[in-house]
Structure 1
Amino acid sequence: MNKIKKGAWVTMITPYTPDGKIDYAACGRLVEWYVESGLAGIFAVCQSSEMFFLTREERLALARFVIQKAAGRISVVVSGHVSDTVEEQTEELCQMAELGPDAVVLISNRLVAGGEKNFISNCETIVRAMPKHMPLGMYECPFPEKRLLKHDEISYLNSTGRFLFVKDTCCDIDEMRARAKLISNDFMFFNANSATLYESLKAGFAGYCGVMANFHPRLYAWLCAHIEEEKAYFISRVLGVMSVIEARDYPVCAKRYLKNQLGFPVTELSRSKRANFVPAIDQELEGIKTLTNYAESLIK
């Protein structure tokens, strides 16, 4: 049964305790919030989760916790695909599959070991080794470098029947429209870019999967489910404007927002980013909260 649902997905952040360990109590509270907000799913152990800065043991433990905490109430896909060699990648991805997520997500920039020409062959090697019952996904992760999928690679992924989930980071609506024509059946693309989300949903994308669902998940869930409503265009433009906060040392800015504006018991600690906020950061975050409240009042 395909548990990859259309709609809004969050790229889950990793909270840390003051001594720098994963804060599972805070993780659990976030999972509950995502469920309560009506999201379709959680993408855990991804870049927002700082997967490149977690040990393999931490990545597996975090994935296991989120899957168990979600308990089938919300779909969960996981990655943790950070190794350099195909052999190590295969091992870590198979370990993730053993935890029972709804899909295991490969990272596009990890699949060019030995050169760009090896993308499909490296992907085939990993796919053959993965449990046949496990659905797969692909993520155009921007770190350590963004590698966008080529059209022939998208057609290959579609043809395997194994890939159900793609997190698109091209941020180009013309390219998204072209990609939408290449996919079929259960092969679904999710847009990470807020500014182009409305147009991509109109073009046939399945939903949203991005960092801003850590700020206002209800708005993304509503937009993906009500794209034909008259107010959807306005909500989409509000979301697009608010998404520029991503440039303020994310994921630290998200943790600051969750702590100061929403009252979540999280620290601002991050392993991937050192906060270098402008002095006006708290006024910016307060403005986002004000806009969020107004936008949510329009969809009640």
Structure 2
Amino acid sequence: MSQLNKLPGGLWPVMLTPFTPTNHVDTAGLEKLTRLYIDAGSSGLFANCLSSEMYQLTREERLEVCRTVVKAGAGAVPVIATGTFSRDVSDNIEFIHRLHDTGVDAVVLITSMLAEPDENEEVLMHRLEQILNGTGTIPLGVYECPVPYKRLLSPALMGWMAATGRFLYHKDTSCNSGTLDRKIRAVAGSNLGFFNADTATALDSLDSGADGLSPISANFYPELYSYLLREYRSGGRTDALNRLHAFLTMMDRTTHNFYPYAAKVFLQRRGLPIQTVTRIPAETPGNADQIRLHSLMDSFHALADQYSIPSVL
């Protein structure tokens, strides 16, 4: 099968979805957020993902989000989006076509939506083949999303997907350097872009040949991740880069608390005109959690000053 063009490596943020005070999709806020990611140095955008509260969106809202991001991006970077929300293969195929018609560059398949926890990888491969056969030449991606459950892919299945020529993006959630290395080697030389979701193993995965990163902390300070990736590409894994990575790894422990609500609070405090409304139920952070979030902001500003990165939006 002929190979599709490889997606650019680098930072691929997993996008948030801003909502209005009346809990509708805030398309104006989403346009501003899209430009923020691009201005921060992102190489591509993953819309309609778990960070986007995709399971809390209606089918039409998912399409609206993708159309908005594609239009706001105006071709500056490629856009991908999730297209599997059912156990029914034909339903997924129909929505993949509709989603691709919004202008996204690839449609992402959720591994845990295509097979039950007790079904083996042969079943998953069969479902992937059905989707390949039913979607023509639409470029695809795959995401080891932790919801409804985390289903990791084997290096062998990764190699098979790469060989089809149809898969261009993989968001990996293995969070283990050895596993990442084996999976990256399985797709080496192909057009299947490998993007690590985990900050702690970010540099290890880049050493192994990963194409880039897709961490949730990039919804707080994408500029720092873009800087990390640029510096790695230009000079490799230096002592200075290890120190920055150490800070990002420690900061990453805070960004996972009250997410995605905390990310919206953080961006709002940075100056992005969006609401902090989420459809995922969120408790009000307590005093200690508020202190941690303020400390996260202080840490970001300190690093931004050190690396001459604008920190106010």
Q: What TM-score does the superposition give when structure 1 sets the normalisation length?
A: 0.95
Alpha-carbon separation, structure 2, partners of 1:144 and 1:82: 10
Is 1:218 paired with 2:226?
Answer: no
Letter in 1 for 2:128: C
Whether the aligned pair in 1 keeps the contact of 2:141 and 2:167 (CA below 8 Å) is yes
What is the Cα deviation at residue 84 of structure 1?
Answer: 2.1
Total equivalences in the alignment:
298
The residue type equivalent to 1:295 in the other structure is: L
TM-aligned CA deviation for residue 280 of structure 1: 2.4
Give distance in 1, aligned partners of 2:226 and 2:170: 18
Match of 1:280 among 279, 283, 288: 288
Aligned to 2:193: 188
Question: How many angstroms apart in 1 are the aligned matches of 2:87 and 2:260?
Answer: 24
Q: 1:207-246 alignment to 2 at 5 Å?
A: 207-227=212-232, 228=236, 229-246=238-255
Counterpart contact for 1:51–1:80, Cα < 8 Å: no
Q: Distance in 2 between matches of 1:217 and 1:153?
A: 31
Partner of 1:173: 177
Cα separation, 1, equivalents of 2:295 and 2:42: 23
1:72-99 per-residue CA deviation (whole Å, 9 max, x = no partner) reads 1122111142122111111111111112
Contiguous gaps of at least 5 residues in structure 2: 309-313
- Amino acid paired to 1:234: R
Corresponding residue of 1:254: 263
Contact 2:163 2:190 in 1 (8 A): no
Provide the secondary structure at the position in 1 that maps to 2:255: helix
**Structure 1 gap ranges (5+):** none
1:107 maps to which residue? 110
How far apart, CA to CA, are the structure 2 residues paired with 1:278 and 1:71? Answer: 40
Match of 2:311 in 1: none
Out of 135, 138, 144, which is 1:140 matched to? 144
- Tell whether the 8 Å contact from 2:258 to 2:282 is kept in structure 1 after alignment: yes
Q: Confirm whether residue 14 of structure 1 aligns to residue 17 of structure 2.
A: yes
CA displacement at 1:122 relative to structure 2: 0.4
Q: CA deviation at 1:222?
A: 1.2
Confirm or deny: 8 A CA contact 2:79 2:106 kept in the other structure.
yes
Q: Is the 8 A contact 2:87 2:115 kept in 1?
A: no
Contact 2:47 / 2:80 at 8 angstroms: preserved in 1?
Answer: yes
CA contact (8 A) 2:83 2:92 kept: no
1:277 Cα deviation after fit:
1.9
Task: Provide, for residues 230-264 of structure 1, a one-character-per-residue CA deviation record: whole Å limited to 9, x for no partner.
Answer: 421111111111111233121011011112x3122
- 1:2 match: 5
Tell me the C-alpha RMSD between the 2 structures. 1.6
Runs of at least 4 residues off by over 6 Å: none
Q: TM-score, normalised by structure 2?
A: 0.91
In 1: Cα distance, 2:239 partner to 2:176 partner: 24
